[in-house]
Structure 1
Amino acid sequence: MGLHSDKARETLLDAAEELFALHGIDAVSNRRITEHAGTANHSAIAYHFGGRDELLRALLNRHLEEMDRRRVALVAGLAPDATVRDLLAALILPWIDHLASLPVPSWRARFLFQVRSIPSMGDELAGSAVRNPEVEELIRRLQAALGDIPPRVVQGRSMILGPMVLGVCAEYEQRIQDGTQEPNWAGVGYFFIDSCTGMLAAPVTHPDDFLTLPTTPYLL
């Protein structure tokens, strides 16, 4: 693909991410995306992506390589007896570092928050969260480090944590855009690490798990 085509594709991705973040997935037509991208070719999404679902998948997979490289470095630095907090840091910080690297305004967290309202895309989002060996290894080590907590409880708690982290990031991104919040993504990241550590490792006071699902993603 040529440089011009690559640029046109990125412009469409930028336009779609912004509009989806602001208005929701279903409220934005392909035509509106192409117009927001500044192109008169209303079939540009079909040309560059093949269709709307493929556009959404391209948006979901955007920047993942960058986050994967950061996570690989963090995992390589973990001690064999890494704590729950250390393991969660390796999961969470690549996402937070990515948000911190984006220009203001950014739309990434709000776009992903909107994606969760689409069942099929929510599954795609969950799949992208656990699709690489580093994340799988971190989840395995977390489960081992939380050995005193029943697996079903860990599963239920992590089901809560994922939407919580994403929702707070989406709201924080909005406040930065509005000018009511000075960006401090590092502070947000370490707040999440501490909070998620406390929730996952908290004592179990009831024999029955409140929330269980066959499979749930860990955070992001």
Structure 2
Amino acid sequence: MAKKAVAADKIAEAGDAKTRMLIVAERLFAQGGFSGVSLREIASAAGQRNHFAVQYHFGSRDGLIQAIFDHRMVQMEPIRGRMLAAARAGGGLDDLRTLVEIIYLPQLELPDDDGRHSYAGFLSQYLLRARSRRFGEFSSATPPGLAMTLGLLRERLGHLSEAAAQRRLISASFMFVHILVHHGDREWAEAGNEPFAAAVADTLDQIVRCLEAPIAD
């Protein structure tokens, strides 16, 4: 599946200028931070002669950041759709571990050409900007598969207030992002450390326990 994701990424890079800017900006933001990369630098790295190409397509830095997030959510939607269908067929839509997998595992299908996960680096910064106390609210346009999964997850977290459920979801997301950023790169694998698949499985177990833990009195 990773090879297919890489191939899809290459196709996107060879496509329209707007998509190329999204992919290039994601990588640069992951490396230098949201405020550490200029919009002119992004346009140039994406092969745009017009230094104001980012503003033309996205309006502002914030518009670009949101567009990257939404673009990746849409990319993962077919994967989530298949996982939801399989869970529905197997009667697993009320299983917390299954729902967690549907939310997080599609991110494994978004590596760069060199096998790294720049999206994870981008997402960690995006989550730090999150201010909403409403569960699962990270964008004004949540794809239907993700929205359905988050809705089912919220039902399973009925013991939590809306703000507490959102806080735990963000914390859980940071846990998974950490695995992608630090454990999924080549240096980690070549050093003979814990297998990536084992780290992912253990992290998903941690996320489930984090989400379902009762609120302390």
Indicate yes or no: 2:45 matched with 1:45: no
Secondary structure of residue in 2 paired with 1:72: helix
Alignment match of 2:178 (pick from 152, 167, 179): 167
**117, 142, 148: which is aligned to 2:153?**
142
SS at match of 1:93: helix
The structural deviation recorded for 1:91 is 1.8
Amino acid at match of 2:209: G
Q: Which has the higher Rg, Structure 1 or Structure 2?
A: 1
Give the conservation status (yes or no) of the 8 Å contact 2:29–2:122: yes
Task: Say whether the 8 Å CA contact 1:129–1:135 is kept in structure 2.
Answer: no
Task: Say whether residues 1:107 and 2:122 are aligned partners.
Answer: no
Residue pair 1:113, 1:166 contacting (<8 A) in 2 also:
yes
CA deviation string 1:144-174 (max 9, x = no partner): 4455xx223655433421222223323335x
Cα distance in 2 between the residues matched to 1:103 and 1:164: 24
Query: 1: CA distance between counterparts of 2:143 and 2:46?
Result: 32
Indicate the residue corresponding to 2:98 in structure 1: 86
TM-score (norm: length of structure 1): 0.70
Whether 2:188 is the aligned partner of 1:180: answer: yes
Q: 2:40 aligns with which of 25, 31, 43?
A: 31
Q: Tell me what 2:7 maps to.
A: none
For the residue of structure 1 that corresponds to 2:23, the secondary structure is helix
- From 10, 13, 27, give the equivalent of 2:19: 10
| Structure 2 unaligned regions, length at least 5 | 1-11
Post-superposition CA distance 1:8-45 (Å, at most 9, x none): 22332232222211111112111222232343321221
Tell me the equivalent position of 2:5.
Answer: none
Letter in 1 for 2:104: I
Residue 202 of structure 1 pairs with residue 210 of structure 2: no
Deviation at 1:126, TM superposition (A): 4.2
Q: Equivalents in 2 of 1:81, 1:23: separation in Å?
A: 39
C-alpha distance in 2 between matches for 1:151 and 1:120 = 18
Change (3 A) 1:141 1:16: closer
Cα-to-partner distance string for 1:101-130 (whole Å, 9 max, x where unaligned): 542244111112123344579x9x942498
Determine the C-alpha separation between the residues in 1 that align with 2:93 and 2:29. 42
TM-score (norm 2): 0.71
Distance 2:22 2:92 in 1: 40
- Structure 2 letter corresponding to 1:139: L
CA shift for structure 1 position 143: 4.0
Q: Which residue of 1 aligns with 2:6?
A: none
Give CA deviations for 1:70-94 in whole Å, capped at 9, x if unaligned. 1111112221663211222222222
SS of corresponding position for 1:127: coil
Q: Provide the residue aligned with 2:69 in structure 1.
A: 60
Identical columns (%): 26
**Higher RCO (Cα < 8 Å, 6 or more apart):** 1
- Cα-Cα RMSD: 3.5
